[in-house]
Amino acid sequence: MSVGFVMMCHTALDRAAQVARHWAERDCPVVIHVDKRVPKPSFDGLREAVKDLHNIRFSGRHKCEWGTWSLVRASQTGAEVMLAEFPEVRHVFLASGSCLPLRPVEELRAYLAARPRTDFIESVTTEDVEWTVDGLHSERFQLRFPFSWKRHRWLFDRYVELQRNVGFKRKIPDKLVPHLGSQWWCLTRQTLSAILQDPSRKTYDKFFQRVWIPDESYYQTLVRKYSTRIESRSLTLSKFDFQGKPHVFYDDHLHLLRRSDCFVARKIWAKADRLYDTFLNEQDRGTVMSEPAPGKIDRVFAKALERRTRGRAGMYMHSRFPNPDWENGKSCAPYSVFQGFNDLFENFEPWLSRRLGTRVHGNLFDPLRARFAGDGDVYSGCLSASAELRDYNPERFLTSLIWNTRGERQVFQFSPRDIQRIAWFMASDGNAQISVITGAWAVPLFTANKDFQSIRKQAAHLQKQEVDFVDVLRRVQTRADVRIWSLAEFVEEPMEHLQSILDAMGGPSVARLTEAPRLVDLTGFGQFLQNLKNQGMNPHVMGDFPVEIVEMQAKSGGARPYLVR
């Protein structure tokens, strides 16, 4: 008989009785503290359920409220009963009514017997604590907390603020260095009795009665005064979420719990029948002396925390809809936008698709319909090509497309002829790679068989659209990877520029293509621009476009002048 359990219960007393019986039958004395607020019939039921066991005691009852001294008071009372009534107990283990032993008692006993003078209690100085939810570390010891955090939150917060503002600080008794840690501990008789029988306990108790959440600091601080050997970790597996409330274990955690090799876990859902049945009826597996390894469970809960606080980037759904700029990534993966390229090159999309080894969309924001790769009516994720549906909410259309095609880089064309509402969204998205050849929209006009008056009108409109777009791209807040050339600049060294875009895409290198996209024949384009000017328009976004360039293009003879390596 070397270990005794002090159990603090307030709900699911049937489960507490089951666990108490498990321990008591295996020769471990148990002292049960039941919250005074538990109605008498339930309490009597618990008494009745364990009355045949001679080594279970009930301690005096206190009214317990979370975060207050009453919890420490209750554990003190329980521990005192334990120390007085069971002199052979060497380690006292503080557990709750929703704790469940994961390993046979014999293993725990052997483990503690091998470490007879070690106190297992998480005890960390206030400077090093980072898990407190309320942000109160050392202030827990220095301020006063007369208002309940759960019931009078507003008053609680205001009073803390007030004390901070006036610089109020309580005096910490001499020789005490505040420490914090999990409230579930396992202490040796020597240490525990030293704490409980300390001549200045009255002073300390009085001090801790006004400390915030004293059950996480009372023993954790005082143990530093007496213990000869502290192992600063809890033997109880207990994980807290971002609200500071314990994670609950369910039936489907069975394998996770078993592999953790922890001795006791909390908190267990009261109706998790399979967990209770399995662990309380576990056969002795021969004394295994493995160390507790909660790493795997830690990872599961760390992931849950990450999901709850940061979420999956680029995913918009009915339980995640971030305010602007709180998205942690407006879209979920990098994508490329080309403006002007399919005007300047013939069959640009098929060429780019072959070059990248991926599907390349046409103009997704075409006023008539979304031009998906393959020109289907529906695309990945059942995204409709309907212009009305898309324009109803273009941002969601784009983020859905990127989300639906995770793992495949999306590449699409954009143009001043398209619906422009999406412009700022793309510009402000760090995942966007936007390459623009300004003025390339004039090339289709140049080759179009249309009345010059209407061409001139359209040219003015498109130029305005493009200037607006480029202005957006050049804002300070733009986060996209932006490349802008004027048409004149681009046609000087088209393949170099194209190559720089492809290089920036990164990703797995594609097999070298010996095929180059074909430039539209620009002979006479300079004259075309001059005609626009003569009509009173000022086509300036193409850059300086002298007639010579066109002639040079013509001389280099055309068919496939450049290779993209």
Partner 1 sequence: MKAVRRYKLRLERKRFLVRAWRKARELMLVADRTDDIRPSDVLCFVTLRNERIRLPFFLNYYRERGVSHFIFVDNDSTDGTREYLAAQGDCSVWMSQGSYKRSRFGMDWINALLRQFGHGHWCIIVDPDEFLVYPFCDTRPIPALTDWLAASSIKSFGAMLLDMYPKGPITSQPYSEGQNPFDIACWFDSGNYIIDRNWDYGNLWIQGGPRARLFFDKNPERAPALNKIPLVKWDKSFSFASSTHMLLPRGLNLVFDEWGGEKASGVLMHAKFLDTFTTKAREELQRKQHYANSHEYKAYHSGLNEDPNLWCKWSERYINWRQLEILGLMSKGNWA
Q: Summarize as ranges the residues that interact with partner 1 (CB under 8 A).
A: 241-243, 245, 247-248, 250-252, 269, 271, 300-301, 303-305, 307-312, 315-323, 326-328, 378-384, 386, 388-389, 392-393, 396-397, 400-401, 403-404
Is residue 204 within 8 A of residue 178, CB to CB? The reply is no
Q: Give 378 or 504: the residue with its C-beta nearer to partner 1.
A: 378
Q: Give 286 or 374: the residue with its C-beta nearer to partner 1.
A: 374
Helical axes 273-280 vs 13-25, angle rounded to 10° = 10
122 vs 185: CA distance, rounded Å: 7
294 vs 19: CA distance, rounded Å: 22
Q: Give 228 or 393: the residue with its C-beta nearer to partner 1.
A: 393
Range 534-563 burial, b when 16+ CB lie within 10 A, else e: eeebebebbbebeeebbeebeeeeeeeebe
Q: Give 241 or 521: the residue with its C-beta nearer to partner 1.
A: 241
289 vs 87: CA distance, rounded Å: 26
End-to-end CA distance of the chain: 78
State in angstroms the smallest separation of the CB of 364 from partner 1: 14
For residue 82 the two structure tokens come to 């334990």
State in angstroms the smallest separation of the CB of 295 from partner 1: 15
Nearest one of 134, 18, 160 to 66, comparing CA atoms? 134
Q: Give 202 or 318: the residue with its C-beta nearer to partner 1.
A: 318
215 vs 206: CA distance, rounded Å: 14
State in angstroms the smallest separation of the CB of 21 from partner 1: 24
509: DSSP letter: P
State in angstroms the smallest separation of the CB of 218 from partner 1: 25
Q: Using DSSP bridges, classify how beta strands 3-9 and 30-34 pair: parallel, antiparallel or unpaired.
A: parallel
230 vs 221: CA distance, rounded Å: 12
State in angstroms the smallest separation of the CB of 397 from partner 1: 8
State in angstroms the smallest separation of the CB of 293 from partner 1: 18
**Number of C-beta neighbours around residue 183 at 10 A:** 24
Q: Give 324 or 536: the residue with its C-beta nearer to partner 1.
A: 324
For residue 167 the two structure tokens come to 């610089």
Q: Where are the beta strands (DSSP E) in 45-177?
A: 56-58, 91-96, 100-101, 119-120, 124-125
520 vs 437: CA distance, rounded Å: 14
State in angstroms the smallest separation of the CB of 317 from partner 1: 5
Q: Give 329 or 524: the residue with its C-beta nearer to partner 1.
A: 329
5 vs 99: CA distance, rounded Å: 11
State in angstroms the smallest separation of the CB of 97 from partner 1: 15
Q: Where are the alpha helices (DSSP H) in 123-236?
A: 139-142, 153-166, 189-196, 201-208, 218-226
Q: Give 249 or 338: the residue with its C-beta nearer to partner 1.
A: 249
Q: Give 399 or 463: the residue with its C-beta nearer to partner 1.
A: 399
State in angstroms the smallest separation of the CB of 242 from partner 1: 6
State in angstroms the smallest separation of the CB of 102 from partner 1: 17
Q: Give 308 or 464: the residue with its C-beta nearer to partner 1.
A: 308
**Number of C-beta neighbours around residue 400 at 10 A:** 21
